[in-house]
Amino acid sequence: MAQEKRGCLGFLVPRAGASTGRTPITSVLPKLSPPSFPYRRKSLLSPAELSFYNALKLAVDGRFLILLKVGVRDLCEITNREVNQAAFNRVAAKHVDFVLCDQATLAPVVAIELDDSSHYRRDRAERDAFMNELFRVIGWRSSISASK
């Protein structure tokens, strides 16, 4: 029998009514109780972030693509990661709330970080200063901070 050709998502999402001949993953995974599997679905954005997103969407009026929760390591490149792992570690877990990108090239244009009361803490102020310097060094005029 000839093997069925499927697109890149065909392995994850079979066509309706089609049998993959494979055992569904849910039947081979052990049933885990909540204490041993402590996860639940959550929203991508807090209520304040969602409100800002909706205002931002109106403000950009389709001129930019709005990306959510973009990793800082995706916005910059470590010039010599082999000798400076610390530089990578410093950005690896950081993200900005929104990035506006050029519609045609997806090139980032501006990063937006919403500030809440936690940004008054010393460690957050130091993080914000680092982020502002990082964006200056990579050639962005600055990241925009807005209050939540």
In the predicted structure, residue 31 carries a pLDDT above the cut 80:
no
Give the per-residue pLDDT at 5: 59
Task: Please identify which residue in the block is written with the tokens 């102020």.
Answer: 125
Q: Which residues, in sequence order, are bridge partners of residue 110?
A: 100
Q: What is the pLDDT of residues 83-115, one digit of tens each?
A: 788 888 889 999 999 999 999 999 999 999 887
pLDDT band at 41 (very low <50, low <70, confident <90, very high): very high
Domain boundaries, the chain: 47-147
In Å, what is the CA distance from 106 to each residue of 42, 63, 67, 93?
27, 12, 10, 22
Give me the phi and psi of 30, to 5 degrees please. Answer: -70, 145
Mean pLDDT of the chain: 80
Strands 95-102 and 108-115: antiparallel
Give the per-residue pLDDT at 9: 54
Q: What is the pLDDT of residues 48-93, one digit of tens each?
A: 999 999 999 999 999 999 999 999 999 998 888 777 888 888 899 9
Please report which helix (H) or strand (E) contains residue 57, including its range: helix 47-60
CB 15 within 8 A of CB 7: no
